[in-house]
Amino acid sequence: MILPEDRLDRFARHIVLPEIGGAGQVALAGKHLVLVGLGGIGSPALQYIAAAGIGRLTLVDDDRVEASNLQRQTLFNTRDIGHGKAVVAKRWVTGFDPALDVAISDRRIRVPLLSAAVGRFQGQVGAFAGHMPGEACYRCFVGDAFDTEDCDSCADDGMLGAMAGWVATFAALQAVRVLLDGVGNLGPINWGQVHLLDGLAPGMRSFAIAKDSACKACGSPR
């Protein structure tokens, strides 16, 4: 695959990076990324994911835009209130870069998971591949909390809008790292590693999650 001249110009700042280069940009154009959730993290993350030139996107979110979303969900504006987030997001991507293939889906698929969450002044980003031997899945990390209905929400606890942006852009960077594994030179993915972002300190620390042999999702059957 050869990038046409207009694409070379669009992604010139990527291509001059030795860690990505022309081969990396071509690889991104051939990748398929599924983005689940278009809220405080997914919304700004999508903007950078689309800007990276990832050729095929599937957007999953059954929620509708509300006025309270606009404080941190930078993809939407006042005119979008009441409309489906996935529909609005697809329209935005199509207008931003018509060359990208965008679909909306609610199907479950088994793929590596890049998880991101944010609340108040803290956020977390982690990459999980529980379907791969020896690697932890997201449920290995959260355990039974995966099933709880009594979760904290930004509606109750609040959230600094810029914090969502920090987590989202870091998640977008990690997504590019995963997609260019074996092609670019952005460093190891480190499956099962969780990065905690602290907006008050400010700072970031990381730790690894071990695969749980008793995990209900990826553990060995008994």
Domain spans of the chain?
A: 31-109, 110-222
Fold of the CATH domain 31-109: FAD/NAD(P)-binding domain (3.50.50)
Which pLDDT belongs to residue 218?
Answer: 85
Task: For the chain, list residues with pLDDT below 50.
Answer: 222
Which pLDDT belongs to residue 180?
Answer: 94
Which pLDDT belongs to residue 145?
Answer: 65
> Do the Cβ atoms of 159 and 119 come closer than 8 Å?
yes
CA-to-CA distance for 127 and 16, rounded, in angstroms? 27
Class of domain 110-222: alpha beta
Query: 110-222: same fold as 31-109?
Result: no
Which pLDDT belongs to residue 131?
Answer: 86
DSSP bridge partners of 57: 33, 102
Which pLDDT belongs to residue 10?
Answer: 96
Helices then strands, counting H and E runs in the chain, come out as 8, 7
Which pLDDT belongs to residue 157?
Answer: 85
Residues written for the chain: 222
CA-to-CA distance for 88 and 65, rounded, in angstroms? 9
Which pLDDT belongs to residue 202?
Answer: 94
Q: Which amino acid is at 17?
A: L
pLDDT tens digits for range 168-194: 999 999 999 999 998 888 999 999 999
* CB-facing half-sphere around the CA of 90: CA atoms within 13 A: 17
Q: Which amino acid is at 82?
A: G
Which pLDDT belongs to residue 150?
Answer: 60
Give φ, ψ of 146 to 5 degrees: -60, -30
